């Protein structure tokens, strides 16, 4: 199934979120990138909020690959949507607010994050136009802890 066929088959935003997160679980960077409507806007929580308008697929690829690689290094095996709220602004624009547990072996929670995804419907296809999230500070804490543990194990 091509990514476009995959998107067309997604009729609800609930399904869209599940398919989108499944692409992360598979580590399929190209499938993840297929979700983005360009230019895509990312807003990330940090000590200073980061505003990232990304105009091209390749600009998006850098950040997506980084997250996929960190998750692989940390042993992430899946995600569980804990809470999901949808605000339909029109038949063509909706926002999805989710709380997600990121899971490792045995279904144990490594960390959680909240994000708001703005979806735009184009020709029967939902695409992500913007993501606002607090994921990166939480993920980076896990990465640093993993690196420190690995460094201590080598000494």
Per the structure, the complete domain to which residue 28 belongs is given by 3-154
Report the Cα–Cα distance between both ends of the chain, in Å, rounded.
48
- pLDDT tens digits, 88-115: 999 999 999 999 999 999 999 999 999 9
Model-level pTM?
A: 0.89
> Which pLDDT does position 83 carry in this prediction?
96
The 108-122 sheet, strands edge to edge: 50-54, 36-44, 125-133, 108-122, 93-104, 78-90
* Count of structural domains within the chain: 1
Given its phi and psi angles, is residue 73 left (phi above 0), alpha (psi -120 to 50 degrees) or beta?
A: alpha
The CATH number covering residue 25 comes to 3.10.450.50
- pLDDT tens digits, 30-50: 999 999 999 999 999 988 999
Cα dihedral 53→133→30→144 (10° resolution): 110
């Amino acid at each position: 199934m091509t990514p476009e066929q995959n998107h067309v088959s997604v009729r609800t935003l609930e399904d869209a979120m599940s398919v989108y997160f499944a692409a992360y679980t598979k580590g399929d960077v190209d499938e993840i990138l297929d979700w983005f409507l360009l230019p895509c806007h990312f807003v990330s929580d940090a000590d200073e909020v980061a505003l990232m308008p990304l105009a091209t697929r390749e600009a998006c690829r850098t950040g997506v690959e980084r997250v996929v690689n960190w998750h692989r290094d940390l042993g992430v095996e899946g995600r569980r949507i804990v809470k999901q709220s949808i605000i339909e602004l029109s038949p063509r624009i909706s926002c999805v607010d989710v709380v997600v547990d990121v899971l490792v072996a045995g279904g144990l929670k490594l960390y959680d994050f909240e994000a708001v995804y703005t979806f735009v419907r184009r020709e029967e296809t939902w695409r992500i136009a913007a993501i606002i999230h607090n994921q990166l500070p939480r993920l980076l804490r896990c990465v640093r802890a993993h690196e420190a543990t690995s460094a201590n194990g080598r000494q």
